[in-house]
Amino acid sequence: MSSFDLSAISNSLPFLLEGLALSLMLTAVAMAGGLILGLLIAILRLSRLRLIAGLAALYVNGFRAVPLILVIFWFYFLVPLALGRPVGALYSVLVAFVMFEGAYYSEIMRAGLQSVRSGQWQAAKASGLSYLQTVRLVALPQALRKMAPLMVTQGVILFQDTALVYVVSLNDFMTSVTIVANNTNRPVEMYVFAALVYLLICLTGNAVASSLKHVRAIA
Amino acid sequence: MTKTEMIKVDKLSKSFGQLQVLKDCSLTVRQGEVVVICGPSGSGKSTFVKCINGIEEFQDGQVTIDGVSLGFRGREAAKMRARIGMVFQHFELYPHLTVLENICLAPIHVLKRTRDEAEARARKLLNRVGLADKESVYPAQLSGGQQQRIAIVRALAMDPVAMLFDEPTSALDPEMIGEVLAVMLELAREGMTMIVVTHEMGFAKAAADRMVFMDKGSIIEIGETKRFFEAPNSERARLFLSRILAH
């Protein structure tokens, strides 16, 4: 085996970038969808109605109890069954990720909403704002500021988790790296490269998270 | 007295589980009247005022505001709450909004005023409390006294029929108490109907028409201010006054 050879990376760069694009796209969609779904579930979970709060808790605990890989399998086989037609690996994976992340983001949101002082809720209530107006105008903006760093961290974990989509034959970044490593017989170079990319994403995420902490300190 | 009854509380009772925190509390406040509620800590004063605008729920009794009975849930209850201004011990300004946004939030979203209308009214009120230059700063950049004056303005911006104050100066440094009391005194002189929970007996003597003394969740006595301070009816009130006025 010759010394460290970077040509394996440069030669398959378009293929690797395609994998990276899929991973980033999955992360973006799952973050956006997970945030919206998570917020909805968090609000339901804080409901006074026990049944609604209970169902929301069941959802969250259910998804948190099983590994993501199982959820991906489920939706791969379940979504086509439910719809009566094949939807393809990508769509089933998108649904799986959004549902799964929704459970995790709802816990972050719930903690955020609950961390808003009771006096703030009382002040909003006293001024005649409705419960949903209070959430939207008073509690959520404060909760999001507090929770933004955590949500970014969750996004970084999510990016790493996209590697699991290989189980339904999708080429995410990690899968592309593995394929190139096998084809070129250059596993050392490829896996070092992969580690560097993950490190870069993680550092970027951390930088964003800490800058958000700073924003929070001002406001 | 021919003035109308603005706030009527009838036999209000509230418990947290086994613990009864308010017992058969009744109080009628006429339009333009200033009532100060005093009593030892833990006597239920704060809970009582929070029941008056329904932000604390109670199990028994009835509250009537300007002839309309108060509920807890739904749009009607929210509308009722919006008619009573409330000032809290810890100000409770919204930290993510500027002073002007704090004041305009409820007028815009509850009263459905236009932003221009709401801001014009807010600026007028800010001017009155001497804080016109602070409209675009965030609450954290203000002193406690300034925050509480803004909180009063925020309540006044809703054009309330009455104002409730829950220990408005208890969280303030001594040198800032005066500026907040001055604003409240001016409000009282302008004829605002007010219920004030406070330990500031100087303010009570200067502004209150009547005094309410509470202890252990009950209203022990209600009396004209002058008479209450000179000769309270109950032994408990006498004891309380002697302690609080001693220093």
- Let me know: does B13 contact B23? Beta carbons within 8 Å: yes
pLDDT of amino acid A45 = 93
Give pLDDT tens digits along chain A (219 positions): 557 778 888 888 899 999 999 999 999 999 999 999 999 999 999 888 899 999 999 999 999 999 999 999 988 988 888 888 888 889 899 999 999 999 999 999 999 999 999 999 999 999 999 988 999 999 999 998 889 889 998 999 999 999 999 988 899 999 999 999 999 988 999 999 999 999 999 899 888 888 877 665 544
pLDDT tens per residue across span B102-116: 999 999 999 999 999
The CA distance from B27 to B61, in Å, is 11
The CA distance from B119 to B124, in Å, is 9
> Looking at the complex, does the CB of residue A132 fall below 8 Å from at least one CB of chain B?
no
pLDDT tens per residue across span B215-228: 999 999 999 999 99
Phi and psi, residue B196, nearest 5°: -125, 120
Q: What is the mean pLDDT of chain B?
A: 92
Q: What is the DSSP letter of B132?
A: G
The CA distance from B244 to B240, in Å, is 6
Question: What is the number of CB-based contacts under 8 A between chain A and chain B?
Answer: 66
Distance from the A47 Cα atom to the nearest Cα atom in chain B, whole angstroms? 14
Neighbours of B163 (CB within 10 A): 22
Mutate to test the interface with B, among A49, A122, A125, A127 (most CBs of B within 10 A): A127
- Token couple for A17: 């970038």
B247 has a pLDDT exceeding 70: no
Adjacent-strand bridge partners of B210: B35, B224
How confident is residue B1, by pLDDT bands cut at 50, 70 and 90?
very low
How confident is residue B201, by pLDDT bands cut at 50, 70 and 90?
very high
The CA distance from B105 to B157, in Å, is 10
The secondary structure element, H or E, covering residue B16 is: strand B5-16
The CA distance from A108 to A150, in Å, is 7
Across the interface, which of A127, A141, A219 has its CB nearest the CB of B110? Answer: A127
Domain coordinates in residue numbering, chain A: 7-212
The CA distance from B133 to B136, in Å, is 8
pLDDT tens per residue across span B37-55: 999 988 999 999 999 988 9
Pairwise CB contact (< 8 Å): B94 & A120: yes
CATH number for the domain whose boundaries are A7-212: 1.10.3720.10
The CA distance from B25 to B62, in Å, is 10
pLDDT > 70: what percent of chain A?
Answer: 96
Adjacency order of strands within the sheet including B210-215: B84-87, B162-166, B193-197, B34-38, B210-215, B218-224
B2 has a pLDDT exceeding 60: no
Q: ipTM of this predicted complex?
A: 0.91
